[in-house]
Structure 1
Amino acid sequence: MQRCAVWAGVLAICGVMGAQEPVSIQVDLSKPVGAYKPVYSWFGYDEANYTTAPDGQKLLRELHDLSPVPVSIRAHHLLTSGDGVAELKFSSTNVYTEDANGKPVYDFKILDGIFDAYKAACVRPMVELGFMPEALAADVPGRTEPYQVHYPKSTISGRSNNPPRDYKKWGELIRVVTAHLVERYGKEEVLRWYFEVWNEPDIDYWHAPAEDYWKLYDYAVAGVRTALPGAKVGGPASTSPRSEKARLFLKNFLDHVDTGSSAADGKRVPMDFITFHAKGSPKIAAGKVTMGIASELRDADEGFKLIAGFPRFKSLPIILSEADPEGCAACSSKVEPANNYRNGTLYPAYTADALKGLFELQDRHGVNLLGMLSWSFEFEDKEYFEGFRDLATNGVDKPVLNVFRMFGLMSGSRVAVTSSGRVDLDAKLAAGVREKADVDALATKGDRSAAVLVWNYDDIDGKAAAAKTTVSIGGMPAGVTRVLLEHYRLDDTHSNSYTVWKGMGSPQKPTEEQYKELQASGRLEMLTSPEWVEVKGGVMEVKMSLPRDGVSLLRVSW
């Protein structure tokens, strides 16, 4: 019988694939490479009405708690007509209707409930201005769909994605909504928010030519700025720029802002930040879930390169207002089997790897990445671990939420890291992580502390031997001889409610005791108790056995 070796308190995986070569990771705290910006502290979802649902409010508070800086929340359907009841990929606020004479009628009850929930959780809205109220939606030749199309049909084909029949009324709607937000939440608070015009207008989310989106944008930002001079406005929230069509849309939009004049007032077009989306492409290949990190990174690469070509825009903040492993959060693994990556450790390991890749691409192109918005929240009244792209299921935190908690425990400057197990950025852009696992790290240094995030990621799901990894943290300040080490771990047996749920027999109606256990297992765990570690010659070492798709966070303080 084959025996397994225990190394650093973790049982190495045996009998699966060949042994991975030992990995050496070198961190140099004396060599900063850039700021560690909290690009992780952005989240979003289609169903705005889930914001006020019980588990939605609970999760908002948890999102606030994971980050030392404000968390921003983006949601679709803030202006959509309807009864305020969420469906998959649809929500509504009914903020705008018209009377029999065509006079606007405003009702802020549902919208206020959403924004009040943000305020109660101490998170900030990223205000996505969409979609089109029914009373304002124009008829589009050749389109006969009703206002709302229900999932699983194409929910973006309805009249809620039509252009306005009157752009001046659209601009006035945005002015009135912005003025209401200022009155309710205060000028200084709303000045901190980001106002984004529409979502993915380069595809069927917008049922009109691109030039009409420029007009929609112009009237929207004019409305925002009329109500709140100095408000942050931007767009275009276009899709993956690795596509030539999407890349051209983004370029033409930037051209419009750069050299055009506003259709609303003839003045220069305002823009304070730029948004586009970056998506992966998981699939089932050879019977295994196979992720597509190359696609997401290529989106960022193409978008950053394009923006860097505009001198006026190169320093503007960029928000990837959806940055995800793929497109449809509401498509469960029952619909798309590849989406089962969302329940276990593959999703958080992918997210850790993507985070570093996005920082590296920002540095390469000399642009200003502000946000990597994860399009993930929660789905109310669905089955446990149904495989939606969510952070929690029925109030139970999923493993992926814990990688964001790890991100939140890092601060300061990014510092130099080398790894013998790293897959080079250009290799990832070309082919993803397929030939060998990517065992790498992202490290930061604060005033009297440092943090090293380490992962063992492969696009292809499946068991593999753990990586024996030595992390050497050098460049310690002179005079530091001992540091306090806290080692957090996310793997199959740590910070993982999914494993615990499966061990219970996958109950859809857990008992009260089972539910308490699931909630506890969803929190971020330490691998070992905190310990004091000696520093010799300015260097300390941590040895670990890191399972495939495992993530460790080493925090040291002195």
Structure 2
Amino acid sequence: MSANRFIGTMLALTFSSFIARAADEILPATNRVISADLQQVKGPRSMVWQDCVGAGRVAEGLRDGWRRQLEECHREIGFKYIRMHGLLQDELGVYSEVNGVPRYNWQYIDDVYDFLLSIGMKPFVEFGFMPNALKSGSGKIFWWNANVTPPNDYAKWDALITALVKHWTQRYGESEVETWRFEVWNEPNYPGFWHPPTNSTPRDAYFRLYEHTARDVKSVGTDYLVGGPAGAGPVWTKELIELCQSNRIPIDFISYHAYGLGGGPSGLDEYGNNKLYLSPNLHSVADIVNSQP
């Protein structure tokens, strides 16, 4: 080895050693010990996570592989409800118009829901997204082009929701549908999922959609359970409860997606612009609900 190469190697080793010692002095110890006494009973274990599982979109439920996986999950884990996007998506052919006259097609929804009930699961119905024939704008999300704008005609939207809930009642029976959950839209406070008209705020536009949809569901079955706002984080909950109380709008439950995080309006920031942290109280919305008369 040449003298220059030897000196270079020694300098590199010395520098690396210096950096390692400096890191030991500056960085705090990251090791931690978690201990558990398996003989000590802390209390009952919450199984709330078994209540519902999320899936991609309803159309995936037409696939045999998807069905076999869900059946295994239900059997092994015990999930009770399943929540899916895209119930009213055009790929299911649910809604179309001919010369302005609405046409309904329940074939593919029936296929998926028949399967869910056959394996002992129930749908957690998410009303969304907007059929192209009813869209009021071009806002879209996901590669499958889900339209995320309000309806261009609320009379036609009301007729669609009412007809669909009536169909479920006739097909499965009122006592069965009373055990389902009906939720209006998905995360309307997140811009990607809700593009309201420019003359309305996202919240006000969603509240209008919620009122129409909730009344539509209850017009078919007064004991059917409907709720929202299905927010990205516990947002708009107090305002929605107050709106429903003031205007006698039906609401049976409050829903939101906690994600386990805080920071930013929803606790999620895919662009990395907001700091994220574990929320100290994932169920703070319960305080809002319980405070209402």
TM-score bracket, shorter-length normalisation: 0.7 to 0.9
Q: 1:235 to 1:58 in 2, by over 3 A?
A: same
1:344-371 per-residue CA deviation (whole Å, 9 max, x = no partner) reads xxxxxxxxxxxxxxxxxxxxxxxxxxxx
Shift of 1:166: 1.6
Structure 2 equivalent of residue 222 of structure 1: 215
Distance 1:18 1:192 in 2: 48
Distance 2:82 2:277 in 1: 21
Say which structure is richer in strand.
1
Distance 1:22 1:222 in 2: 51
Structure 1 equivalent of residue 35 of structure 2: 23
Amino acid at match of 2:158: G
Structure 2 equivalent of residue 350 of structure 1: none
Match of 1:171 among 145, 151, 158: 158
Shift of 1:133: 1.1
Match of 1:127 among 125, 130, 147: 125
Shift of 1:231: 0.3
The number of equivalent residue pairs is 246
Shift of 1:36: 3.5
Structure 2 equivalent of residue 112 of structure 1: 110
Distance 2:177 2:37 in 1: 44
Q: 1:250 to 1:310 in 2, by over 3 A?
A: closer
Match of 1:276 among 243, 252, 256: 256
1:62 paired with 2:62, answer no
CA contact (8 A) 1:232 1:272 kept: yes
1:250 paired with 2:230, answer no
CA contact (8 A) 2:228 2:255 kept: yes
Structure 1 equivalent of residue 22 of structure 2: none
Shift of 1:171: 1.8
Q: 1:252 to 1:22 in 2, by over 3 A?
A: closer
Q: 1:192 to 1:296 in 2, by over 3 A?
A: farther
Q: 1:21 to 1:195 in 2, by over 3 A?
A: closer
Q: Unmatched 5+ residue regions in structure 2?
A: 1-28, 197-201, 262-274
The residue correspondences of 1:15-414 to structure 2 (distance < 5 A) are 23-25=35-37, 27-29=39-41, 33=43, 36-67=46-77, 71-82=80-91, 93-100=92-99, 102-139=100-137, 144=138, 151=143, 160-204=147-191, 205-208=193-196, 209-241=202-234, 247=235, 249-257=236-244, 259-261=245-247, 268-279=248-259, 297-298=278-279, 301=281, 304-311=283-290
Amino acid at match of 2:286: I
1:435-473 per-residue CA deviation (whole Å, 9 max, x = no partner) reads xxxxxxxxxxxxxxxxxxxxxxxxxxxxxxxxxxxxxxx
Say which structure is richer in helix.
2
Shift of 1:19: 8.4
Compute the TM-score of the two structures, normalised by the length of structure 2: 0.74
Distance 2:135 2:31 in 1: 60
Structure 2 equivalent of residue 317 of structure 1: none
Give the 3-state SS of the residue equivalent to 2:281 in structure 1: helix
Amino acid at match of 2:156: K
CA contact (8 A) 2:165 2:217 kept: yes
Distance 1:170 1:120 in 2: 30
CA contact (8 A) 1:118 1:125 kept: yes
Amino acid at match of 1:274: I
Give the 3-state SS of the residue equivalent to 1:234 in structure 2: strand
CA-atom RMSD in angstroms? 2.9
> Which aligned runs of 4 or more in structure 1 are off by greater than 4 angstroms?
17-22, 26-29, 294-297
Distance 1:22 1:206 in 2: 43
